Structure formats: structure tokens, C-alpha cells
Structure 1
Amino acid sequence: MNLTIHQTYLPQDDPDAALAFYRDALGFEVRNDVGYDGMRWITVGPVGQPDTSVVLHPPAADPGITDEERRVISEMMAKGTYAGINLATEDLDGLFEKLQASDIEVVQEPTDQPYGVRDCAFRDPAGNMVRIQQVK
């Protein structure tokens, strides 16, 4: 059996800011941009990897979510504790410099971690943690 990751979901509460981060800063390509009932779902992914996508979605679009759950989701997003993604690059320091120049919120500069990886961290415009690891 061959199992791959096809899509992952990250909440976004400002579609234009999400596009500026994922498309313009990270260099992902836009695969789909769908609006419905005042909301917007944007699918992006790394160039050259058409089978792997990130769906940027309205955080509480599910009609089964209560008002209290929506409030909690909003609070967690504001603190940066609701969602995250780990990415990888062959040039961590170069990418870090590019992203830092884009005035993106830096959480951690490139660091050699005690568990064996070198990585850095940013928050996207919705507060999601984006960690980027160095790969060889």
C-alpha cells in the first residue's frame, strides 16, 4: 500500500493576508480559490509537488460548530495555539533571510535543536505556527 499526504488544512481569517504569506513569501502556487456564502477556501502547494496541498479555510465554517466553539477557536488562533505545519527546505538560512525581510512574525531564528534538526519558526497571518526544517 502506498499512502501519501494529499492535503492538510490550516485556518485563515484573512484570505488576502494568507495569500501574501503562502504565495508571495513562501512561493507556493495557488491551486484553487473558491468562495461560498461570504467565505473563501484557498488551496496552495509547493511548486513541482502537485499532489501535496494546503487548504487555507475559514476556521469555523462547519455548521455543526457552536458559538462557544467558534469563540475558543478564535482565541486559540490569536494565541497561535490552534494549528501549525512543518515544512522543509535545503536552504534554511537563505529562506529565513527572505522571510525575515518580508516582515513576517519570527518566532525562532534558525537553531540547532537538541533532538537533531535545525529549524526556525514563524507565525502566518492567522497565527498558525509554521516551522521550517533544514534537510540535506
Structure 2
Amino acid sequence: MRLTILLITMKQIKVKWPLNPQETVLFKVDGVYIKNNFNAKQVTLYITNERIVLESKRMLMFFLFGIIGWLLTRKKITLEFPLSDITDFRRTKHGFNKKVAEFDLIDGRTIRIGVSGKWEVFDAAYQKAMIDVQPLFSVN
């Protein structure tokens, strides 16, 4: 597992959306953004040292123009939230998928994302990103 994490951090992950100064992309994985029980969207999940970004392609172009239309569409940011807004993180399930990340945010929202690939690699990348995050409220 360590070797996998080292290989992931050694690769430079390129994105088409602007990064903040001093922001680096730590991890990229495909997944499904689960809005509710009947509505989901295929996304690419990026974990940076400051935020989590969900990027999706428009599926309407796929239905209208097939593979060529899908390849020519631009990706757009569906959802993003800072790591400092996360109050709770846990692994849940949705149907048969047992690799669903559930984030509770400070504003009361709950974000559910089905992760593809190995859960342990995603969890390690998330925990590594959270090490450097300064909490919004501190007891000191």
C-alpha cells in the first residue's frame, strides 16, 4: 500500500480548472456523486491540499452525438468544498456499492460519493490531505 501511495504522489496530476496559489493535487479517482436515491452523476474526484473537487462531463452530448460528442465536451466542476468545512467522514454503502465516502459539512449538508478502485488507497490519500488542514474552530 505504501508503494501505491508513493507512486500516486510522484505523478503530476494535471487539471483544467485554476488552482489556488500553493495548492497541489494529491489524488485523482473516478466515482459517482450520489445526490439522492434516484439521482447520481459520474464524476472525477480530486483531492487537493485545500479542497475536494468533483468534475463531470455532460452526458447529454453523449446521448445526442455518441462517443465523439462525449469526447468533445468540456468538463465542468460539479461540486467543490474546502477540507476545513468537513466535520465528519465515514465509509457507508449505497445499494451493492460498499465503497461510498460520506462527508458531513459544517453547513449541514451531507455529500455522498461512490469511489472506484481500492478504498484503502482513497482513504490514505484523504487522511494525508487532512493532516495539514487547520481546523476552523480550535480549543486552544
TM-score range relative to shorter protein: under 0.3
TM-score, length basis structure 1: 0.26
TM-score, length basis structure 2: 0.26
